[in-house]
Amino acid sequence: MSAQSAIALVTGGSRGIGRATVEALAQRGIDTIFTYKNNRDAADQVIAVAEQAGARALALQLDTSDTPGFTAFADLLRHTLGQWEADRIDFLVNNAGTSYSALFPEVTEEEFDKLYRVHFKGVFFLTQTLLPLIADGGRIVNVTSSVTRIISPDSMSYALMKSAVEMWTVYLAKELSARRIAVNAVAPGSTMTDFSGGVVRDDPEVNRQMAEATALGRAGRPEDIGQTIASLLSPENAWITAQRIEASGGLML
Ligand SMILES: NC(=O)c1ccc[n+]([C@@H]2O[C@H](COP(=O)([O-])OP(=O)(O)OC[C@H]3O[C@@H](n4cnc5c(N)ncnc54)[C@H](OP(=O)(O)O)[C@@H]3O)[C@@H](O)[C@H]2O)c1
């Protein structure tokens, strides 16, 4: 870890799990630069909440599927860090993502490619591009999903991308061990965000089914996952690497 105060980069921090992660980090005194794709207004609200908690926060626009734009994003990040008299991030949280549900016969090549670019290719090459900006001794958290453990048929393509990220997490943990960078995956269960049209939060029947299927008796809240990620990035959990940690309240045990 560098001498500067700890700084995290969280992708997709404007809403849902990413937002809850920025807020949980702010509560622990960690400054965050986070990205949004379209929602500048939502990003501004997150900045205000983080600042109220006493931390610094800044938002940058990024489409995590736009691999050709990553070099320019790294330059912008370097410049932005300079505003804080910093030259490194300590933590990278690869969180941004969108949902896609379709049974095998209905999966289209276009949607499959879109999913691949956001959930795997983008995560892989964004991390590669940002490697020189991650401090030695830093940490990376990749947000995956409980569907790599639970077979939910219409989640097939999505689960494949998240499974690839989990395998990559272990390879990366090994490769980056030379720089003492810990790499882990956090796998949320059904969480009440805008994901999948907000169905887990807004459809009472789906919410009830998820609560019934969850050992701890309710659907996940974004804060459940934000606190898990922030805790994994805390000094107390510095010895954990190459792990998949499911934060689902015990979904479909
Ligand atoms: N919610 C769940 O039940 C659940 C369960 C397991 C895993 N996950 C995973 O958790 C992560 C976060 O999901 P969430 O539930 O928080 O979703 P969400 O509430 O829909 O928020 C998605 C976030 O990602 C950003 N984003 C979406 N597409 C992007 C792109 N192409 N480039 C850059 N940013 C993009 C959005 O930015 P804008 O606000 O600008 O649109 C927003 O900040 C995802 O990786 C998802 O797969 C979610």
Provide the residue ranges of all domains of the chain, joining segments of one domain with +: 7-247
Q: Closest Cα to atom 33, ligand 1: which residue? A: 63
Reduced to 3 states (helix: H, G, I; strand: E, B; else coil), residue 14 is coil
Question: How confident is the model at residue 4, as a pLDDT?
Answer: 62
The alpha carbon torsion through 188, 91, 52, 63 (nearest 10 deg) reads: -70
Question: How confident is the model at residue 1, as a pLDDT?
Answer: 44
Distance 17 CA to ligand 1 centre (A): 7
CA 124 to centroid of chain Cα atoms = 13
Instruction: State the catalytic residue, choosing from 36, 100, 116, 158.
Output: 158
Residue to substitute in 9, 11, 17 for testing ligand 1 pocket (most ligand atoms within 8 angstroms of CB): 17
14 Cβ inside 6 Å of ligand 1: yes
What does the alpha-carbon distance between residue 253 and residue 143 come to, in Å, rounded to a whole number? 20
Give kind and range of the element (H or E) at residue 73: helix 70-83
200 Cβ inside 6 Å of ligand 1: yes
Distance 99 CA to ligand 1 centre (A): 8
39 Cβ inside 6 Å of ligand 1: yes
Distance 14 CA to ligand 1 centre (A): 9
Are the C-beta atoms of residues 188 and 142 closer than 8 Å to each other?
A: no
Q: Which CATH architecture has domain 7-247?
A: 3-Layer(aba) Sandwich (3.40)
- What is the mean pLDDT of each successive set of 10 residues along the chain, which is 253 residues long? 77 98 98 98 98 98 98 98 97 98 98 98 98 98 98 96 98 98 98 97 98 98 98 98 98 97
User: What is the position in ligand 1's atom list of the atom closest to the CA of 191?
Assistant: 3
Q: Measuring CA to CA, which residue among 56, 30, 59 is closest to residue 44?
A: 59
117 Cβ inside 6 Å of ligand 1: no
User: What is the position in ligand 1's atom list of the atom closest to the CA of 190?
Assistant: 3
148 Cβ inside 6 Å of ligand 1: no
Question: How confident is the model at residue 143, as a pLDDT?
Answer: 99
Question: How confident is the model at residue 5, as a pLDDT?
Answer: 81
Q: Half-sphere exposure of 150 toward its Cβ, with a 13 Å CA cutoff?
A: 20
User: What is the position in ligand 1's atom list of the atom closest to the CA of 222?
Assistant: 16
63 Cβ inside 6 Å of ligand 1: yes
The question of whether 158 is a catalytic residue gets the answer yes
